[in-house]
Structure 1
Amino acid sequence: MKYQAKKKALILLADGTIFWGKAVGNLEGSSFGEVCFNTGMTGYQEIFTDPSYFGQLMVTTNAHIGNYGVKDGDEESGSVKIAGLICKNFSYTPSRYGATDSLENYLKKNNVLAISDVDTRALVSYIRDNGAMNAVISTEIDDIDALKAKLADTPDMKGLELASKVSAKEPYFFGEEDAPFKIAALDLGIKRNILRNLAKRGCYIKVFPYNASAEELKAFNPDGYFLSNGPGDPEPLKEVIATAREIIEENHPVFGICLGHQIIALSQGVSTFKMHNGHRGINHPVINHLTGKGEITSQNHGFAINREETEANDSLEITHTHLNDNTVMGIRHKTKNCFSVQYYPEAGPGPNDATYLFDQFIENIKQSKLETA
C-alpha cells in the first residue's frame, strides 16, 4: 500500500466519553450504533458478516485485524452487517494462502467505516465497567456537538426490532431436494454455517422470512422447525413469538439458536432482559447439565432469558448455564419436542464442542417420525 496520511477520527460514546483513532483507508463520514466488543482471536470476516451484529459498532480485542485478508466463501451472509469497525492495528496487506481480497477493500466495497490506532484495551475496559451503549465513529471531528445531537437521536437497542432488516424477503431453499429430512427455517438473521450444518446431516431446508405465519411454515410439510439467530431485542417480535407458540403446542420438533432461543422462551411465558455488555467471543465456557460436561462455545448476544422465571416455569428445564455469570444458555420443553441454546453450535468462527446439538435435532426428528408413522 502506498503510504498516505491517516485521517484523524474519534469514537464518541453516549455518555460523552471520547476515544481517538485514525480512519482506515479513504472512507470518511460517521456511523452510529451500539458499541460492543468481540474477544475472538480469529474469524473476523465471519463476525463482520454475522447478521446478529446488525446495527452495532464492533470493537475487536485482538490487536491485529486484517492480517489474513478475506476469502470468498467465508462470509456468514451476503454482506458486512456491522455498522462500523474499531480496532488497534489494521493490516492493509493480507498474508494468507487463498485470500481473495484485502480487508480494506472488502470494507470499502461494503461502505463500512473503520477506525484503527485506538486504545482498544482502554475502550473495552470502559465498556465492561459502564455497559454497552450507543456510540458514533466519525472522521467529522470539527463539530462534536453536532455528533452528540445526532447520537442522542439514535434508538437504543432495548426495544429495537432488527430481524426485519436482515431477514430474507422471499423464501428460498438450501440443500438437496431429495434429502431425507425437510426443515422449515425461520430466518431472523440466519448464518450460512447453520444451513451448512443442517444440510450435511441430510436436511433440505426452506428458509422463510421472519414474519412467515405458522400456516406458511406448515404448508411445506416439514419434519422439523428451526428458529435462527438474529439481531435486536426479541420482545417486539410479537408475531414471531405467536408463531413459535403455535408450532411448539402442536408438538413438532423445534430447535432454536440465540434469538430463536429467546423467542421460544418468550412463547412459554419467560421474559428477556438486556445484558450489561453481552457475550461475544469464541471461548465462552458452558456447563451441560444433562451430561455434566463443559463446553467451550462461540457466542454473540446482548439479551438473555430470565433465570428465575425459567426455574419457576413448569414447562421448561434449564439444560445449559454460562459458567462465568450463571446466565441461562439452554432450555428444553418438558412435554413438547422443543429445545434451544443461547450460543452458536455451528461455530463459524469458534470451537466445535456443541455441534452435537444438530445431531440431537435430527434424532428428535427421527423419533417424531417413528411415533407418527
Structure 2
Amino acid sequence: MKAAKGKGAPIKVPKEALKPVDDRSFKVESNEFYMHLKIKGNSKRRAILLGVGALALSSCPASSLFAEEIPQNYEAFVDKSDGYSYYYPSDWREFDFRGHNSAFKDRYLQLQNVQVSFIPTDKRDIHDLGPMEEVVSNLVRRVYSAPTQMANVFDMQERTIDGKNYYTFEYALTFPNFSRAAFATIAIGNGRYYTLIVGANERRWRRVRNQLKVVVDSFKVLVYHDLLGMMQHPHHAKVTPKFCKQYGQVGDVINKALLEYEEEVTNGSFPGPAHSPYKINAADVDGFLNELQKLGLDKAASAAATAAEKIENAESPDVYVVYMGSRDGHDPDEILMQNHQFLTDFHGGSVEQARASHVYSYRHGFRGFAAKLTEDQASEIASMSIQ
C-alpha cells in the first residue's frame, strides 16, 4: 500500500523535545543466586555463588561425572566450582583444614586423612615445573617437611589420564616422636596448581596403604572446557576425558558468535557509530602526526591524516520522527521490536546499531518512532512505501 501524503516521511525535531524510551524488551538481566550443594556422603553444606550458566553443572549428582563405578566403601567428592574430583573412604568425615580447599579424615584416627589444596599458576602442565625427580624431591624436602624432620621419598611415577599429566609419589616424614607416611599427587589445569596428599601414621601404613592408594590414584582435574563442550575441533572430541560428562555445547555458540563478528567486520556494519563514542581532538591528532613524521613514517602520517579528515567530515546523525500511520493498539513491547527491526535495514543489518539509534516510540496519537538518522537514511525512509 502506498503511503499517504507525509506518511513515512521523517520530520527533524530537537532532541530535548523527546522522551527516553524504556527498552525493556531487549534488556537481559543477569542473575546470580546462592545454592547449597550437598555431595553424597558429605554432611557439611557449602554455599556456592553461581551464575545462571553454572546451574546445569552444579545441580547434577556427583557420581554422574564418573564413567566407571565408584569402588565399594568409597565416596566421590566432586568440586565442580574449582575443577577437581577424587574418592575417599565412605566412613571418613569432612573437616576444615586451614589452607586447604577440601579435607576428609578417619572418624577415630586424626592423622589418617586426605587434603586438597591449589594455588594460581601460569603454567600449563606439570612438565613446565621441571623433571619429575627434581620436582618431587624439592617438594618433599623443602615444602612438606620442616627443618627438624627427616624426609624420604620411596617411589614416584608419572601418570597420564585422558591427556592430563600427574606426578604421583610416596614419601615419609620422621618426627622426633613418630613418623607419618603419605601419597601425594600434583597436577596443573584451569590455571591452578593442584596438590592432593593422603596419609597416615607410619605404624598403620602397611595396613591402610592399599586403601589410600585408591584415593591418590583417583584424583582428576576437571577441565571446564570439557564440561562445557567448548572445544569443537575433531581432535578434542577424541581426547575428552572418559570420566567427564559434557553438560553443554558452548563451543557451537562461540563459533556462531565469531562467524557473525567476522561477517559484520567484513561488511563494515561493525564497528559503527554506536560503538565509536570517543573522539580525538585536533591538537592530539596534530601531535600524533608530528611524532610519526619525526620517526620517518611519512606514509603512515599521511594515512592517519586522511582517516582523521574523514572522521571530522563524517555526517553526524540528527533526531527524526518517522510517522508510520494511525495507532493500531499493538502491545508496546511488540511495537518497539518492530521499530528496531525496521531500523536494522538502515544500519547494515546491525541490530545493535538499530537499537542505539532508536530514541522513542509513539503509540497513542499515532504510530511511529523517533530515531537518530543521517540525512541519507532519512531520505531513504521518506521514499519508502510503508506497509
TM tier, shorter chain? under 0.3
> Radius of gyration: which is bigger?
2
Higher RCO (CA-CA < 8 Å; seq separation 6+): 2
Greater fraction of residues in helix: 2
Q: TM-score, normalised by structure 1?
A: 0.24
